[in-house]
Each structure stands twice: as structure tokens, then as C-alpha cells.
Amino acid sequence: MGVKRILVVDDEAPIRDLLRDAITEAGWEVDTAADSTEALKLVKENLYDAAVLDFALPDMDGFQLHRELRQMDAELARSTLFISGVAQTEERLDYYGADAAGFLPKPFNVWELVSRLEKMLKD
């Protein structure tokens, strides 16, 4: 099966860069997007094994983006890890658990995120 490919979507360039570097160091290919529009374009053009999505994006929130991803690629939607500094309601946390691979609050340990991706990609 070749090298895994991960999509990282976050509107903060330093976080995108940090995640790109850590995920690349773990041995995977990474594409990044600063907003949902760019992310959806990438998903139309490429196949991804997993995604890391920020909840608070400038053009559509993470729920909306995840719903779009689910329509385009249900497997990718199930292999999505949300990250966010936005206060999370119980409803949102239930959503992450039911329809995605989970949630990490910002600030997070980047190696914990990589570890979660490793576990997800083995399943």
C-alpha cells in the first residue's frame, strides 16, 4: 500500500507548518489548506488516508466541512481528527466521537496528534 497521505486544514500558518513538519517526519505525505474551499478542491484532486481539521475556519466551520467531506469521501470523513481552540459543547464532542476519529483541543502536543494518526491509519 504506499505512503499515507494526510490533509491538514487550519487557517493559522504556524500550526499548518508545525503539523506538516511533524507528519512528514513521521513518514507520510502532507497537503495543507488554509480554508474549507481550498481543502475541498484538494479532496477533489487527491486521495487522502486521513485529515486533520481545525473547527474554526474563515469560510465554513469544521462541522460543515466535515459534512461536505462525508459526501465526497466517507472513508476520509471517518478518518478525520478535529483540532480546535474553540470551547467545545457536549453536542460537538459527541459529533466528533460518532462521525470522526476524534478531537484534540488546542494547544495540543504535536506528537500526541501524530500518535493518534498512527493508530487511526493502522485500523
| pLDDT, tens digit (0-9, with 9 covering 90-100), for 77-111 | 989 998 887 665 555 556 555 566 678 888 889 99
Domain edges within the chain? 5-122
Provide mean pLDDT across the span 11-37: 97
Separation CA 66–CA 80 (nearest Å): 8
User: Bridge partners of 32?
Assistant: 8
pLDDT band at 122 (very low <50, low <70, confident <90, very high): confident
Query: Could you tell me the pTM of the whole model?
Result: 0.89
Average pLDDT on 23-39 reads 97
Q: Indicate the CATH number of 5-122 among 3.50.50.60, 3.40.50.2300, 3.40.50.150, 3.40.50.620.
A: 3.40.50.2300
- What's the grid cell of residue 26? 513521521
Give the helix/strand (H/E) hosting 40: helix 36-45
What is the mean pLDDT of the segment spanning 49-56? 92
pLDDT for residue 88: 58
| Residues sharing a CB contact under 8 Å with residue 71, sequence separation 6 or more, in sequence order | none
Rounded mean pLDDT of the chain?
A: 87
Question: Cα separations (Å) of 1 from 5, 61, 108?
Answer: 11, 32, 30
- CA pair distance 56, 75, nearest whole angstrom: 22
Alpha-carbon distances, residue 34 vs 92, 93, 117 (angstroms):
22, 23, 20
Q: Between 62-72 and 90-99, two packed helices, what is the crossing angle to 10 degrees?
A: 20
Element of type H or E holding 80 = strand 80-84
User: What is the DSSP secondary structure assignment for residue 10, as one 8-state letter?
Assistant: -
pLDDT > 70 fraction of the chain, expressed in percent and rounded: 85
Between 63 and 24, the higher pLDDT residue? 24
